[in-house]
A and B are shown apart, each in its own frame.
Chain A
Amino acid sequence: MANWRINNVALRGVTGTVPNNPVKTADFPFFTREEADIFDATVGIRNRYIASDSICASDLCFDAAERLIEGLGWTKESIDVLLFVSVTGDYKTPPTSAILQDRLGLPTSTFVLDLPMGCCGCMYGITVAGNLLSSGTVKRALVLVGDTAMRMGSPKDKSRVPLFGDSGTAMALEYDTTAEDIFVEMNTLGSGYQALMTPHGGYRHPVTKESFEYEDFGKGIIRAPKDALINGMDVFSFAISKPPISVRKMLDDFGLDKDKDVDYFLIHQANKLIVDRIVKKLKLDEAKVPYNLQEFGNLGGASIPMLMVSELAKDMETRPLTLLCSAFGLGLTWGTMVIKTKQVKVIPIYKL
């Protein structure tokens, strides 16, 4: 059972960077004005920031990391662990985390790891870094979570393009014997892997001429096998059923009262319909559920750290908080994490 209670690890700081290119729903050529209005009202994503082809997720994460390190006053030499959580790395090999170790000027003694884990990325990053730090053998970790998800898909796929935004976030974790425990509960349903996938480009189906052949699937979906796809109905049935069960289990297992013991519920910002559904299913107090999907779209694994930056900055800096995070995404994977924070340095979003 993938449950953890991670001791001695504190979240010290967080920030995020987006490309300075806001795109409104009505800007997409495949939407009529009326369709764009309906999309805004139902899916809730009115704006998103889209990286140009010359900006990679690592560039956005690099900017966030540099600003966070400076804001915390950490020396580069004091960082032991660097995780890059992304499905849009610079190259197929080597790991982007290694390239970032050099770009950020971190010592060669740094432990690096790439985690291509999609929308649960924040939770995977904190779970891995947290477990590495917990014994105190290493003291400081940077967890960089970011994607340029727009470029993974077909520009002519109406079912996918308007949902995502691009970003890079950075979180700083540190060994601290006074820190409250972090609770994590993760799950996997590999049988559902085809719901969210990029069929060609790996070694099961390497890129061939056929990978670029576009097919019209109807309903505004035109894509090639090289493009990431979303099987909307499968994702939707997964997203509305599994996360609430995991959240309830977390609350029960650790004896937490959702109304009294949790300050905020940070739910992966997939789209408004899905987040609303989870809120309703769990009967959560809406005032405790921040949203930023209207401004950023679905940021994949960076969704939760960006919520901290865009919606909770003042609270996180000034008072202790209990945050319950719920995420779900490719794999299929989903999970819940409870993290208690104290005086976290939150550095404002930068538009690169």
Chain B
Amino acid sequence: MTNLEKLNNIFSEVFSVEQSVLNADFCKDNVEGWDSVRQLSLTTALEDEFDIMLDAEDILEVTSYEKTKVILKKYDIEI
């Protein structure tokens, strides 16, 4: 599985959405149910899948699908 597929699976599962809706508009302000609990579920799933430990400030920055890719890159996870 590619890293992109892994990422899409995580988003799809955490937000209970089809992968087709994952695009540049998929962010905290546009997504129903993107609250602090979902954000922490999302970042925990990312950490488990990619075997990384995100810093607290990076967890707070995971506020959109696109930003998530940028943050993962900081941890040498290329999407």
In the complex formed, the residue of A with least CB distance to B40 is A273
**Docked CA distance A4–B57 (Å):** 30
Known pairs A237-B56, A240-B56, A281-B53; A274 contacts B40 (CB<8 A): yes
In the complex formed, the residue of B with least CB distance to A235 is B36
| Interface of chain A residues 264 through 307 with chain B (CB within 8 A) | 271, 273-274, 276-277, 280-281
**Docked CA distance A273–B45 (Å):** 11
A: interface residue count bin: 20 to 34
Residues of chain A within 8 A (CB-CB) of B59 are: 237, 240
Give 1 or 0 for each of B32-50: 1 = CB within 8 Å of chain A CB: 1101111111001001000
In the complex formed, the residue of B with least CB distance to A42 is B41
Name the residue in B32, B37, B53, B60 with the highest tally of chain A Cβ atoms < 10 Å from its Cβ. B37
In the complex formed, the residue of B with least CB distance to A273 is B40
Residues of chain B within 8 A (CB-CB) of A274 are: 40
Contact B35 A232 (CB under 8 A): yes
Contact A273 B44 (CB under 8 A): yes
Known pairs A240-B56, A240-B59; A159 contacts B35 (CB<8 A): yes
Residues of chain A within 8 A (CB-CB) of B47 are: 280
B: interface residue count bin: 10 to 19
Known pairs A280-B53, A281-B53; A240 contacts B40 (CB<8 A): yes
| Interface of chain A residues 244 through 274 with chain B (CB within 8 A) | 271, 273-274
Q: Which 4 A-B pairs have the closest CB atoms?
A: A232-B36, A241-B56, A236-B36, A273-B40
Q: A159-B35, A237-B60, A240-B56 are known contacts; what are 15 more A-B pairs with Cβ within 8 Å?
A: A38-B16, A42-B41, A219-B33, A232-B35, A233-B35, A233-B39, A236-B36, A236-B40, A237-B56, A241-B56, A271-B37, A277-B40, A277-B44, A280-B47, A280-B53
Measured CB to CB, the residues of B under 8 A from A are 16, 32-33, 35-41, 44, 47, 53, 56-57, 59-60
Measured CB to CB, the residues of A under 8 A from B are 38-39, 42-43, 159, 219, 232-233, 235-237, 240-241, 271, 273-274, 276-277, 280-281
